[in-house]
Amino acid sequence: MSRPITIFDTTLRDGEQSPGCSMNLAEKLEMAQALADLRVDVIEAGFPIASPGDFESVKSIAETVKGVQVCGLARCNDKDIDRAGEAVRGAEHPRIHVFLATSAIHREFKLRMDKAEIVRRAVEGVKRARNLCDNIEFSPEDAARTELDFLCEVVEAAINAGATTVNIPDTVGYATPTHMFNHIKTLVDRVPNIDKAVISMHCHDDLGMAVANSLAGIEAGAGQIECTINGIGERAGNCSLEEIVMALRTRNDYYQADTRIDTTRLVPTSRLLSSITGMEVQRNKAIVGRNAFAHESGIHQDGMLKEPTTYEIMRPEDVGFTKTDLVLGKHSGRAALSDRLKALGYPVEGDKLDIVFEAFKRLADKKKEVYDSDLIALVDKRPPSE
């Protein structure tokens, strides 16, 4: 039996905060519909107080995209909360996300508030939001660097004030999996009303551990993951949606937790975001990169032709690629060459294959990749006696 995990997509809010990733209204609407088609549970559509354009985008998404919760972000003050409430009001399932920093560094240098003031403001903010909407998320910003006793106190107070989700951000990507597991486990064990809210993970990728930290949170009892398409987001980005979703699907034996995501839409959604923002994913990006299901070495290609599970833990079709890519290059072997020639209509075997294989290797030494047109030219150049 799999425990359901809520996917909270923040591509249009935290993701849009990546330098170079801002989107206009039409682009945001197109992306929001793609996220709904991907079957995310919650779309964080923007930060309505940030600009009139952001307000309009959140409002339009709330009014037009159906079958999904639509959320607006607010700092913990009346103006922000009311603006977010107004923006999401037209949604089928609205949510307001209120945040306030809790770590010592943020309390002292950014907010200049003591602990009591933080708790008082968090409670007031959640109560105000709760008067506008009954689906309220509260985030103690920089939770990963917040003293655990104080974090427990704030989380308990926020739930008592009406928060239905408590999100535990690793705002600066400082945590490790053990650190995050311990944070969440402490909340589960020590906060008396914790079962009245869903615990959520929001991990940044500054040390490259956002996905691992989110998984550690799930192990400790979290029920929601905040993530973005292609992992875009502030600085090094957020937990990548495609990676966390496929980790849970592929290692369901271990986590016994899963999402509602239609994984066959992962690649098309990733490509759509890249085409809108102009930010390509790297070739070796897990799940959606061009090399994610490509094999060049002869040993791997031979294994793949015999049985795909030898070198693939997921099926390319399951994430939206059409097929495995056996790339022909200097590391490739006879099996892959013969297979490709057959597919191209040249069933070359035995001695003839040896001759073509030799010519292929000579060519491959000079090129990064040997294309079908190169192969056809090679075969067609054979002397008539062949």
Q: Does 14 interact with Zn ion (rule: CB under 5 A)? A: yes
8 Å CB contact between 146 and 178: no
Q: State which of residues 41, 80, 141, 296 lies at the interface with ligand KIV (CB under 6 A).
A: 141
174 lies in the site for ligand KIV, by CB under 6 A: no
3-class DSSP assignment, residue 147: coil
User: Among all residues, whose Cβ is closest to Zn ion?
Assistant: 14
The answer to whether 8 and 72 are in contact (CB under 8 A) is no
| Minimum CB distance to ligand KIV, residue 232 (Å) | 13
Asked if 243 is part of the footprint of Zn ion (rule: CB under 5 A), the reply reads no
Which of Zn ion, ligand KIV, none does residue 324 bind to, with CB < 5 to 8 Å depending on kind? none
Q: Output 171 or 270, the one with its CB closest to ligand KIV.
A: 171
Count Cβ atoms within 10 A of the Cβ of residue 202 and give its class: 0-12 exposed, 13-18 middle, 19 or more buried.
Answer: buried
b/e map 42-59, b = 16+ CB within 10 Å = bbbbbbbbbeeebbebbb
Distances 51 to 80, 87, 258 between C-alpha atoms, Å: 11, 12, 36
Using the rule CB under 6 A, is 202 a contact of ligand KIV?
Answer: yes
d(CA 229, CA 232): 6
Binding at 99: pick from ligand KIV, Zn ion, none (beta carbon under 5-8 Å per type): ligand KIV
Residue 9 or 302 having the CB closest to ligand KIV:
9
- In the complex with ligand KIV, which residue's Cβ is closer, 44 or 153? 44
Tell whether residue 46 is a contact of ligand KIV (CB under 6 A). no
Q: Closest CB to ligand KIV among 237 and 320?
A: 237
Q: Which is nearer to Zn ion, 14 or 82 (CB)?
A: 14
Cα angle for residues 302, 306, 308 (degrees, 5° grid): 95
**Site mask, ligand KIV, residues 74-113, x = CB under 6 A?**
-------------------------x--------------
Beta bridge partners of 9: 43, 227
Residues 125, 129: Cα–Cα separation, whole Å: 6
Other CB atoms within 10 Å distance of the CB of residue 350: 7
Q: Which is nearer to ligand KIV, 240 or 263 (CB)?
A: 240
Any contact of residue 9 with Zn ion (CB under 5 A)? Answer: no
Torsion angle of alpha carbons 155, 156, 160, 161, nearest 10°? Answer: -30
Query: Least distance in Å: CB of 202 to Zn ion?
Result: 6
- Least separation, in Å, of the C-beta of 309 and ligand KIV? 38
Closest distance to Zn ion from the beta carbon of 234 (Å): 6
For ligand KIV, which is the closer residue by CB, 11 or 171?
Answer: 171
Judged by CB under 6 A, the residue of 85, 94, 169, 231 near ligand KIV is 169
Q: Which is nearer to ligand KIV, 99 or 293 (CB)?
A: 99
- Torsion sign, CA atoms 54, 56, 62, 64: negative
Residue 346, both tokens: 């040249």
The C-alpha angle with vertex 130 and arms to 129 and 136, in degrees rounded to 5, equals 80
Least distance CB 197 / ligand KIV (angstroms): 15
Contact 237, 214 (CB under 8 A): no
Query: Using CB under 6 A, which of 14, 16, 205, 302 touches ligand KIV?
Result: 14
Q: Is 171 in the site for ligand KIV (CB under 6 A)?
A: yes
82/142 with CB nearer ligand KIV: 142
Sign of CA dihedral 79, 84, 85, 86: positive
Which member of 11, 69, 139, 277 binds ligand KIV (CB under 6 A)? 139
CA–CA distance, 266 with 263 (Å, rounded to integer): 5
Task: Count the site residues for ligand KIV by CB under 6 A.
Answer: 9
Residues that bind ligand KIV (CB under 6 A): 14, 99, 139, 141, 167, 169, 171, 202, 204
Residues that bind Zn ion (CB under 5 A): 14
